[in-house]
Structures are given as C-alpha cells and as structure tokens.
Amino acid sequence: MKVFVGFILAIAVIIGGGAAFLFSGIYNVSAMVPHWSMTFEILEEARNQSISYHSKGIVAPSLDDPKMEDAGFHHFQDTCRLCHGAPGIGSSEFTRGLYPSPPDLASSDLHQEMNNSKIFWIIKNGLKMTGMPSFGVTHSDKEIWDMVAFIDRLSTLQPDQYKAILKEAYQRAERHNESGEKAGHGHGTHHHSGNEGR
C-alpha cells in the first residue's frame, strides 16, 4: 500500500512540477535559443515518424519527364530557393534567423533519408513550427510533383549547371515577353468613324 501511495505521490509531483514549469514562462521560445538536445531529439523523432506514417500510401509517379522538371524549376526558383538555396546560390538573408534551419535540398544525404513520397507530403502539408508552409493550399498535386521532380534532380546539379538553367529560363521569358509585345503592336489598328472631323 505504501509503495502504491508513494507512486501516486511521485506522479503528482512530476505533473505538478511540469505544470509549474509550463506556466512559469521560464522555457525560452526564442528562435535565437536552440532547443535542449533532448527536446530536439524528441521533436526530430516525432517529425520523422509522422512523415513516414502519413506518406505511407503515397505512390510517386514517374518523374523522368523533362517537362515536369522544367515546370518544377520555376516553382523551385520562385519559392523553395528563397529558404533552401540552390547549387551555387545562397538562401535569402532572413533564413539565418529561422530555427530549425531549412535543409539543403541539394544534399545527397537528404535524398538518402527522404524518398519522393515523403518529400511530396512535406511540400503539400508543411511542417508545424519550422517555417515550412503548406504548398497544398496554393498548388495542385501536379504542380507539387513537378517540384519533387526537379528536387529529385537537384542533388546531381553543379552550380554552373543550375546557373545555366536559370539563364536559359530568363532568356526564354524575355523572348516570350518580346513576342507578346510585338503581337500587341500588330493589333493596334485604329478604326475611324465617318463622323470624325465634322
């Protein structure tokens, strides 16, 4: 009986101490102060297990399609690159203050740890309290798979190759804009009514 009472008291002390710590505000939630190592390991394990569980039924389509990679590049350059950087191109300045830091999507270690189904799930759903948003709110599944297709290729790209893709994309956009302007001028015919000059 004494053992049982002692056990209940110990549980009560732990719960009471935890509640006191929680409501005291002592724990620093500043992004400038890293988690305790034990806290970080628990959160990291919870994240990894959650991603594995929720991405289990996702079947990745064939990603060996240049059109998917090309479309994915534009999404990556406009959004992902800001936080994650790209081969030879650093991330935006504000990411220095993010905690945890956004991973390098060109890292071969990341691609060994995460399969394409997991990457798709992360992009679509985002990750709580990491700065990673849910692109499923703004992008279709097809657009997200396009992003995955390009990210899948990213680890094989050297900085000069990425910059060449970027240069080609800019040149193509300029040609498209120029052709649109010419087409607009071609339709600029003026129609005069018979009442003009009266």
* pLDDT tens digits along 110-138: 999 999 999 999 999 999 999 999 999 99
d(C-alpha 123, C-alpha 103), whole Å: 13
Residue 197 pLDDT: 45
Residue 186 pLDDT: 59
List CB contacts of 100: < 8 A, sequence separation 6 or more: 130
d(C-alpha 144, C-alpha 156), whole Å: 20
In the chain, the domains with their CATH numbers are: 61-184 (1.10.760.10)
Residue 198 pLDDT: 42
Amino acid 136 reads G
Residue 174 pLDDT: 86
Report CA-CA distances (Å) from 178 to 103, 118, 187. Answer: 38, 40, 15
Residue 4 pLDDT: 79
Residue 85 pLDDT: 96
* pLDDT tens digits along 132-149: 999 999 999 999 999 999
Residue 116 pLDDT: 96
Flag residues of the chain having pLDDT under 70.
Answer: 181-198
d(C-alpha 156, C-alpha 107), whole Å: 9
Residue 173 pLDDT: 83
Q: Which residues pair with 73 in a beta bridge?
A: none
**Is 57 exposed, middle or buried (CB count within 10 Å of its CB: 0-12, 13-18, 19+)?**
exposed
Residue 196 pLDDT: 44
Q: List the one residue out of 163, 149, 138, 164 whose CA is nearest residue 85.
A: 163
Residue 177 pLDDT: 81
List CB contacts of 69: < 8 A, sequence separation 6 or more: 63, 146, 149, 150, 153
